[in-house]
Structure 1
Amino acid sequence: MSIEISASGLTLGHGGAPVAEDIDLALTPGEVTALVGPNGSGKSTLLRALARLHTPQAGAIVLDGRALETYRPRELARKLSFLTQSPLIPAGVTVQELVAYGRHPHQGVLARSTSDEDREAISWALDATTLHALADRPLDQLSGGERQRAWIAMALAQRTGLLLLDEPTTFLDIRYQIEVLRLVRRLADEHGITVAVVLHELNQAAAFSDAMAVLAGGRIVATGTPAEVMTEDTLRTAFGIETTVTKDPHTGVPTCLPTWREPAPAAS
């Protein structure tokens, strides 16, 4: 079920000066890759390019051995799912109705009923996100974490092997951030889904990903495992701050702590 996707030599921009250049990135099938970096570094633009929602100024993206631009829209929607940051909530829509929207790429133009395959996919998505008990609840009555799980369930109902998530923990408190990231981790571990996720919180990115890509100054400045990427030198280069990087004593995952105080003035 896992999908292979890679980008090479990408230049990304919005009509003016490029926001990112010479971007090379390959997602490992069945793993979680976190895209991190300062605001404006091109993380979300890169993710949108991978979803074919942003056209690169230069470079190439290859999805399962084919150039991304050669896919027809419905065919592409059967390959990858993209969840934008802070999607709008449809008025009065229930969780199950929202999840059912994810089946549209698999239904014929004149389809008026839900097939057995559709029902199985919807049930699987609700089960994977532990939302069966809330299936009939209107989306606008859910907590932030439940709502985000419902959006992810809709993406899962597409039954694709590639899931692209743009800041799925935005505006969630710490409990629901962890809840969503645990779900992302399960999707890779238990269902073999390839995931790319834009995150701001570095320690969360390190804890829940298999690989990290750090963007800064319009380029990817580091890629690799969290242990390879989360170094004081890399964080200084990317964010312009001093940090202390240690290992979590229980998991061995690297964690960073910024140096909060201003440096002492030099002696005169």
Structure 2
Amino acid sequence: MSAEISTSDLTLGHGGEPVARGISVALAPGEVTALVGPNGSGKSTLLRTLARLHRPDAGQVVLDGRDLGSYRPRELARKLSFLAQAPIVPAGVTVEELVAYGRHPHQGLLARGTGREDREAVAWALDATNLQGLAERTLDRLSGGERQRAWIAMALAQRTGLLLLDEPTTYLDIRYQIDVLRLVRRLADEHGITVAVVLHDLNQAAAFSDAMVVLAQARIVASGTPAEALTEETVRTAFGIDTTVTLDPHTGVPTCLPTWREPSAAVTT
């Protein structure tokens, strides 16, 4: 289960001035690619374009050797999974019921959720996200991290080779952010899934990804391995701040820290 997707010279916009131009990226099977950049840089627009939820103004997207536009909707849903920011939680739905929704692209009209492949896919998704013990619990009784894992499990139940995640750590505390990102890492390493994820935290993106794409000023500012993409010059260009970037001597993962500090408030007595 793997997929390859790439873009060639995309121009992305929302009816006015393009938010990004000349966007050419390639996502490799079994790797995590982090899309980062300031607000309004086109990260989510690019991800939605990869999911065929946004039409580019120019350029091409190719999925497994075919133009993305050539896929029929159900066929495409068997090739890629997309998880939006902060999806609405259905009332009274259990974890297992939510995960089973991911099987809809594979089912006919007469027998939903009853086939052996469907049951196996749901069981696999629950196991991959470590939610077996919570299968009968309703979503409103889950922690933020557990709920996010349930949504990812639903996407996994589609059994696609490509997983697109738009800010999956939003509104989670640091523990659950790390839990979700560790899960994403395992999905790529152990199951060969191609992952693209939009993140705001540069250090988390560097720690959990194989590749980073930095978007700013309507273009790709830098791309490559985290060590290649996350540099002091890149951060200054994309975000307008000075930083110190150091590499872990054991892993080679870069860490970015601001080098400025706001003036302290005057102390009065």
TM-score (norm 2): 0.96
* Partner residue in 2 for 1:87: 87
* Partner residue in 2 for 1:223: 223
Return the offset for 1:113.
Answer: 4.7
User: 1:140-219 maps to which residues of 2 (within 5 A)?
Assistant: 140-219=140-219
The CA deviation string for residues 204-232 of structure 1, in whole angstroms up to 9 with x for no partner, is 00000000000001111111000101110
Alignment check: 8 A CA contact 2:104 2:112 kept: no
The CA deviation string for residues 115-140 of structure 1, in whole angstroms up to 9 with x for no partner, is 00000000000000000000000001
Q: C-alpha distance in 1, partners of 2:129/2:152? A: 8
Q: Which runs of 5+ in 2 are unaligned?
A: 264-269
Q: Does 1:106 align with 2:106?
A: yes
Q: C-alpha distance in 1, partners of 2:35/2:112? A: 39
The CA deviation string for residues 47-96 of structure 1, in whole angstroms up to 9 with x for no partner, is 00000000001100000000000000000000000000000000000000
* Partner residue in 1 for 2:3: 3
Return the offset for 1:249.
Answer: 4.8
* Aligned partner of residue 62 in structure 1, secondary structure: strand
* Aligned partner of residue 171 in structure 1, secondary structure: coil
Return the offset for 1:111.
Answer: 2.3
* Partner residue in 1 for 2:22: 22
Query: Percent identity among equivalent residues?
Result: 82
Equivalent pairs, count = 263
Q: C-alpha distance in 2, partners of 1:52/1:177? A: 27
* Partner residue in 2 for 1:138: 138
Alignment check: 8 A CA contact 2:100 2:113 kept: no
* Partner residue in 2 for 1:62: 62
* Partner residue in 2 for 1:237: 237
Q: CA RMSD in A?
A: 1.1
Q: Which runs of 5+ in 1 are unaligned?
A: 264-268
The residue type paired with residue 58 of structure 2 is A
Q: C-alpha distance in 2, partners of 1:129/1:168? A: 14
* Partner residue in 1 for 2:121: 121
Q: C-alpha distance in 1, partners of 2:40/2:250? A: 34
Q: Does 1:37 align with 2:37?
A: yes
* Partner residue in 1 for 2:53: 53
Q: C-alpha distance in 1, partners of 2:238/2:48? A: 21
TM-score (norm 1): 0.96
Q: C-alpha distance in 1, partners of 2:113/2:134? A: 22
Q: C-alpha distance in 2, partners of 1:142/1:262? A: 38
The CA deviation string for residues 181-215 of structure 1, in whole angstroms up to 9 with x for no partner, is 00000000000000000000000000000000000
Return the offset for 1:112.
Answer: 4.2
